[in-house]
Copies of this chain bind each other. A is one copy, B any other.
Amino acid sequence: MRAVAADAGVSPALVLHHFGSKEGLRQACDEHVLDAIRSGGEVDASALGHVLRAATPVRRYLGRALLDGTEGASVLFTEIVDRTEEWLAVGEAEGWVRPTSDARARAVTYVSWLLAPLVLGDQVGRLLGGDPAETATAVRGARAGLEMLTGGLFTDDRWLTAFTAVDERESSR
């Protein structure tokens, strides 16, 4: 509270006066960040660019909220997953998305992948180029990701079959 007030150049008491409590301020921050993300058009996979280009503070805050399980963040996550699942279903029907055995799991995993560089932004940025706030860094990772999603990373299904074997061995134990 005192740090926030100092950054804003006001007294701690004023922050309380406007937001009621610390929790009130936190909810206001949630709404602000969530609105900032949603305002980038419809919340679906096409928002990729907006999310990746989001300013670093917003990225950090969203990552923290997602991890802490904030109610607003959970709602946003579910929202993105639902729309992504629909979007992938359309693609499947139109033939530009491969069929899957578990549409829900694929949508959830896809979204978590989409959000991964966002949550792990500091780590990714550190290894991909000095400035984590630099857009070019995020773009570089995004291109690498799209390459993997287009045509795949592996040329055969050796890891998929290996995983299946391991999984069956584990679960039968």
Residues of A at the B interface (CB closer than 8 Å) are 48-49, 63-64, 66-67, 69, 74, 77-78, 81, 91, 95-98, 100-102, 104-106, 108-110, 112-113, 115-117, 119-120, 122-124, 126-128, 135-136, 139-160, 163-164, 166-167, 170-171
Contact = CB atoms under 8 A, between A and B. Distances in A.
Number of copies of this chain in the oligomer?
A: 2
A102 to B, nearest CB: 5
Given A117-B112, A128-B108, A98 B155 contact: yes
Given A108-B144, A116-B120, A150-B152, 15 more contacts: A67-B120, A74-B123, A81-B127, A95-B155, A97-B153, A97-B155, A98-B154, A116-B119, A142-B163, A143-B163, A143-B164, A149-B152, A150-B157, A150-B159, A150-B160
Given A104-B128, A112-B117, A141-B109, A98 B151 contact: yes
Nearest to A88: B153
Given A49-B166, A102-B143, A147-B106, A123 B112 contact: yes
